[in-house]
């Protein structure tokens, strides 16, 4: 299809993580195991929470939704990467690339908002225990989750529209294992300085603001626990510790990738592995190993 004096790119070539055959086989085994772990682990959490009436508190409702989002996040990138690791020519159609970019940011931004909501839930439970059931009612929890998905959709639409309006007419090699905003827009046949700042402001600011809100909520929680430390506070603090681990693994790489000009600093594909594969894999492990109620409920499923 013509675009001015140029022909539009119809497909992209993904360079992947390595061009060494031995490493590709090793990566295939590792990421296949990681993908299976994420699917089985998060599905187990969802089934456990949905089938046990004792796990009906807002915390477990949000945890169930987090598990679903993690499955969505890794399913956007990992299956395609596994196929490419066994293929000689790693190509992806332009439309498929844009679709991958859209769903990745849709699920990723929704998870950022949901982790922020989960931090607010812990803040309310610890700092305002007498009003917790009123503030975090079932209806409020459903509304908050809906807002998370709506916010993720709006963010992803903006990123996608800013990408597809760019002309792609020359280079088509993406130095990554999936289609993401930074490596894709660098291939555009035009000046992207304004576009990249708009995108960095969008993705970068969302990551940074959510992270700062999370840190603030944990500061208030620590202050409250320091004033009146009880057994219930100890259990809540253990839950928060798990949340902090997830937040750190997920948010820090996102801020590193998106909170900077894309053309000036090359995207680090090895850092991308952390928030696309490692973070979804750690969530079920962290939340089950550090949560006695979930572990007991899982054993009862057997």
The CATH number of whichever domain residue 69 belongs to comes to 1.20.1070.10
User: What is the per-residue pLDDT for 7?
Assistant: 55
User: What is the per-residue pLDDT for 4?
Assistant: 44
Contacts of 254 (CB under 8 A, 6+ apart): 108, 112, 203, 207, 275
User: What is the per-residue pLDDT for 142?
Assistant: 95
Does residue 291 lie in a domain region? Answer: yes
Separation between Cα atoms, residue 184 and residue 204, nearest integer Å: 17
Separation between Cα atoms, residue 127 and residue 119, nearest integer Å: 12
The position carrying tokens 């990138």 is 77
Separation between Cα atoms, residue 107 and residue 112, nearest integer Å: 9
pTM of the model: 0.88
The position carrying tokens 């990992």 is 78
Does residue 3 lie in a domain region? Answer: no
Does residue 6 lie in a domain region? Answer: no
The number of folded domains in the chain is 1
By residue range, what is the domain housing residue 50? 11-301
- Give 227-279 as a DSSP string: HS--HHHHHHHHHHHHHHHHHHHHHHHHHHHHSS-TTTS---HHHHHIIIIIH
Does residue 147 lie in a domain region? Answer: yes
User: What is the per-residue pLDDT for 1?
Assistant: 39
pLDDT tens, the chain, 302 aa long: 344 444 578 889 998 888 888 889 999 999 999 999 999 989 988 988 888 888 888 988 998 999 999 999 999 999 999 999 988 888 999 999 999 999 999 999 999 999 999 889 988 888 888 888 889 999 999 999 999 999 999 999 999 999 998 888 878 888 888 998 888 988 888 888 888 888 888 888 899 999 999 888 888 887 777 655 555 556 666 666 767 777 888 888 888 888 877 666 666 788 888 888 888 888 777 766 666 666 666 666 65
Task: Name the 3-class secondary structure at 168.
Answer: coil
Strands (DSSP E) along the chain, which ranges? 2-3, 6-7, 11-14, 91-93, 173-174
Does residue 191 lie in a domain region? Answer: yes
Q: In the chain, what is the straight-line distance between the N-terminal and C-terminal CA atoms, in Å?
A: 57
User: What is the per-residue pLDDT for 90?
Assistant: 86
Does residue 240 lie in a domain region? Answer: yes
User: What is the per-residue pLDDT for 100?
Assistant: 95
Angle, nearest 10°, between helix axes 279-289 and 231-258? Answer: 180
User: What is the per-residue pLDDT for 3?
Assistant: 42
User: What is the per-residue pLDDT for 69?
Assistant: 94
Does residue 233 lie in a domain region? Answer: yes
Does residue 141 lie in a domain region? Answer: yes
């Amino acid at each position: 299809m013509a675009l001015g004096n140029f022909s539009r790119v119809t497909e992209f070539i993904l360079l992947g993580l390595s061009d060494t055959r031995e490493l590709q086989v090793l990566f295939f085994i590792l990421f296949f195991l990681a993908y299976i772990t994420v699917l089985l682990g998060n599905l187990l959490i969802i089934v456990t929470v949905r089938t046990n009436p004792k796990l009906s508190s807002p915390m477990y409702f949000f945890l169930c939704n987090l598990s679903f989002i993690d499955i969505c996040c890794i399913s956007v990138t990992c299956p395609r990467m596994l196929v490419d690791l066994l293929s000689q020519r790693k190509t992806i159609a332009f439309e498929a690339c844009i679709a991958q970019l859209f769903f990745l940011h849709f699920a990723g931004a929704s998870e950022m908002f949901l982790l922020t909501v989960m931090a607010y839930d812990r803040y309310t439970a610890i700092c305002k225990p007498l009003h917790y059931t009123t503030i975090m009612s079932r209806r409020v929890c459903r509304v908050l989750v809906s807002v998370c998905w709506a916010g993720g959709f709006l963010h992803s639409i903006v990123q996608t529209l800013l990408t597809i309006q760019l002309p792609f007419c020359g280079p088509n090699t993406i130095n990554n294992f999936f289609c993401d905003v930074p490596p894709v827009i660098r291939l555009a046949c035009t000046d992207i300085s304004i576009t990249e700042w708009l995108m960095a402001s969008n993705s970068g600011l969302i990551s940074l603001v959510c992270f700062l809100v999370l840190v603030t909520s944990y500061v208030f929680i620590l202050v409250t626990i320091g004033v009146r430390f009880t057994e219930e506070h100890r259990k809540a603090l253990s839950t928060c510790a798990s949340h902090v681990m997830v937040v750190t693994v997920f948010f820090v790489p996102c801020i590193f990738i998106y909170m900077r000009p894309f053309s000036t600093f090359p995207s680090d594909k090895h850092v991308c592995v952390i928030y696309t594969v490692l973070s979804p894999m750690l969530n079920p492990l962290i939340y089950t190993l550090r949560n006695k109620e979930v572990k007991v409920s899982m054993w009862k499923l057997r």
